[in-house]
Amino acid sequence: MFEPLRAAARALHSPVWPGCDELNRVIASRVESIANAAGRPLRFVGQQPRQKTFEDKYEPRIFLRGEVQMRSCNWHDLFNALVWLTFPAAKAALNLRHYRELERQRLSGAQVRGPAGDALTLFDEGGVVAAASDPGLASLLTGFEWKQLFWRRRAEVLRRMRFYLFGHALYEKALAPFAGVTGRGVMFEVEDAFFVLPLDAQLRALDARLAAHIGEAARFAATRELAPVPILGVPGWCDDNAREQYYDNLDYFRPARAREVGPPVP
């Protein structure tokens, strides 16, 4: 589950909990710099007291200043930082969408977040990227055919499908996983050759595709676009799922309901 973040985590050299200075050192050491969607260099800063002005709030501050606030010794915020280091283009695209939604909300006087804001937040916190070279496997995922996908076609999933955690809240839950942990997925069709690439090349390609996907204004209109992914059902991500009976738990692997989920992205 943690494989996408390993390279970013290995770049941390601090003997104590990595803080903003250490994370900023990692950014500075990269060949390719990290910037937000406005082109401002990204840097991590300490969490400030709650601000009342729009410009000082969390997402606007990232977009307007390139500053990502984080709390000290906090897993949630550390994983968020590592996701920024791993999927910089996608995180920048998400921040831009967040900023535009918050700006729209502010100008309209709305007191609650809209459906697009809900979808963006859900993916930011609990997103999963699924890549499949067989459209039939992706269809089983969106069709809630969990046992068919993860058990009966297990060998094909291992060969022609892969899951990458994106949401930092999911990484935090993975520290102490429990039956019920569910992500929300965006799916991409890939060629078989994609899975032969080194992991860093896979991640770069997915980062670019995900950033473009998030950047389309019609995407993330509602949470129903995001396919539920029972994380502990992914082959190899839980020892218990090596048994067929594991997938008979309908409280976790819930059957399809009367809803629609977007198809894989070509």
Read off the pLDDT of each residue in 60-67 and give the average, rounded to a whole number.
96
With 0-12 / 13-18 / 19 or more C-beta atoms within 10 angstroms meaning exposed / middle / buried, residue 15 is exposed
d(CA 145, CA 219): 24
Strand, coil or helix: what is 38?
Answer: coil
Residue 145: is its pLDDT beyond 80? yes
The mean pLDDT of the chain is 92
Residues with Cβ within 8 Å of 48's Cβ and at least 6 positions away in sequence, in order, are 56, 69
CB 57 within 8 A of CB 180: no
Amino acid at 251: D
How many DSSP H helices and E strands does the chain contain? 11, 6
d(CA 122, CA 82): 18
What's the pLDDT score for residue 161?
Answer: 96
Read off the pLDDT of each residue in 116-139 and give the average, rounded to a whole number.
95
What's the pLDDT score for residue 234?
Answer: 96
Give, in degrees to the nearest 5, the angle at Cα 67 between 66 and 73: 145
Residue 111: is its pLDDT beyond 80? no
Residue 10: is its pLDDT beyond 90? yes
Confidence of residue 113 (pLDDT cuts 50, 70, 90): confident
Residue 63: is its pLDDT beyond 80? yes
Residue 244: is its pLDDT beyond 50? yes
Q: For the chain, what's the residue count? A: 266
What's the pLDDT score for residue 260?
Answer: 45
What's the pLDDT score for residue 261?
Answer: 47
Secondary structure (DSSP) of 60-80? HHHHHH-EEEE-TT-HHHHHH
CB 62 within 8 A of CB 36: yes
Residues with Cβ within 8 Å of 124's Cβ and at least 6 positions away in sequence, in order, are 94, 98, 167, 168
φ/ψ (deg, to 5) at 184: -125, 120
d(CA 225, CA 119): 8
Residue 258: is its pLDDT beyond 60? no
Residue 137: is its pLDDT beyond 60? yes
Residue 266: is its pLDDT beyond 60? no
Read off the pLDDT of each residue in 197-226 and give the average, rounded to a whole number.
95
Residue 251: is its pLDDT beyond 60? yes
Residues with Cβ within 8 Å of 53's Cβ and at least 6 positions away in sequence, in order, are none
Confidence of residue 31 (pLDDT cuts 50, 70, 90): confident
What's the pLDDT score for residue 42?
Answer: 97
d(CA 242, CA 134): 22
Read off the pLDDT of each residue in 35-61 and give the average, rounded to a whole number.
91
What's the pLDDT score for residue 263?
Answer: 47
Per residue in 223-233, pLDDT (tens digit) is 999 999 999 99
Residue 259: is its pLDDT beyond 50? no
Give, in degrees to the nearest 5, the angle at Cα 262 between 256 and 263: 100
Torsion of CA 236, 238, 242, 247, to 10 degrees: -120
Confidence of residue 14 (pLDDT cuts 50, 70, 90): confident
